[in-house]
Amino acid sequence: MACKVLVVCGSPVVASADLLRRLAGECDHVVAVDRGLDALLGAGLGCDVYVGDADTVSDEGRVLVDAAKDFEVERHNPYKDYTDLALALDAIRRRWPGAELYATCATGGRPDMALSVLGLLAGYEDAPIWIAEDETTARILHGGESWTIEGAEGKTFSIIAIAPNTEVSEHGLEWELNHSPLGLLTDTGISNIVRSTAKIEVHTGTAIAYLLHQGFIGTVGE
């Protein structure tokens, strides 16, 4: 059975300590991506592997990296061609082929970096990819993959195509789709409502599906 790896990215918008502890407890390995080490330290957690150029981690974190004995370090020159997350994904593939990924501290901060993160995670086709933040759980779905959502009645759900020629089906939602094409980055799948056990299927292409943890945000006509 493939292992689960928690990837704590370096967004300045940090996940709560409770979420980090829960995710770390559910995963087999923890990888800190540069400043992600600070998020782990703030939650009283450590990591198995640190990957980064140490340009955003705190002084406290840099001292731990420099003297690391309890975790592996892959430190890179800041003048490089790849982001720290790209290098971290490569490190995961080498250590744990086919690992299921749970990424957090991944979507806040600079919009260009956030978009790059989504692109890198979408390119990881080895196993399921989850993005877990305090207000949202997201799943990147490639063609032939599905997501069954239980116990989320009344929550807001959205799906966005992030590759051309994406076709999806959605059942158990207020507005359902059946083998429907989604245009690249269009709004067709935005702001739906979960009505029962929902099943989301991506038949072709790639999409990112978001489940908001709070109730529906929007307006439903009579």
Total count of residues recorded for the chain? 222
178-201 tens-digit pLDDT:
999 999 999 999 999 999 999 999
Domain count for the chain: 2
Separation between Cα atoms, residue 87 and residue 140, nearest integer Å: 20
Q: What whole-number percentage of the chain has pLDDT above 70?
A: 96
50-100 tens-digit pLDDT:
999 888 888 898 998 888 888 989 988 878 888 999 999 999 999 999 999
Instruction: Give the position of tokens 């929550």.
Output: 155
Residue 98: CATH number of its domain: 3.40.50.10240
Beta-carbon contacts of residue 112 (< 8 Å; ≥ 6 apart): none
Q: Which of 108, 134, 160 is the last residue of a domain?
A: 134
Contact 201, 140 (CB under 8 A): no
Is residue 220 in some structural domain? no
Q: Which of 118, 134, 150 is the last residue of a domain?
A: 134
52-64 tens-digit pLDDT:
988 888 889 899 8
Among 105, 91, 112, which residue's Cα sits nearest to residue 48?
91
Is residue 61 in some structural domain? yes
Assess whether 162 and 198 both reside in one domain.
Answer: yes
Task: Determine the structural domain holding residue 182 and report its residue range.
Answer: 139-215
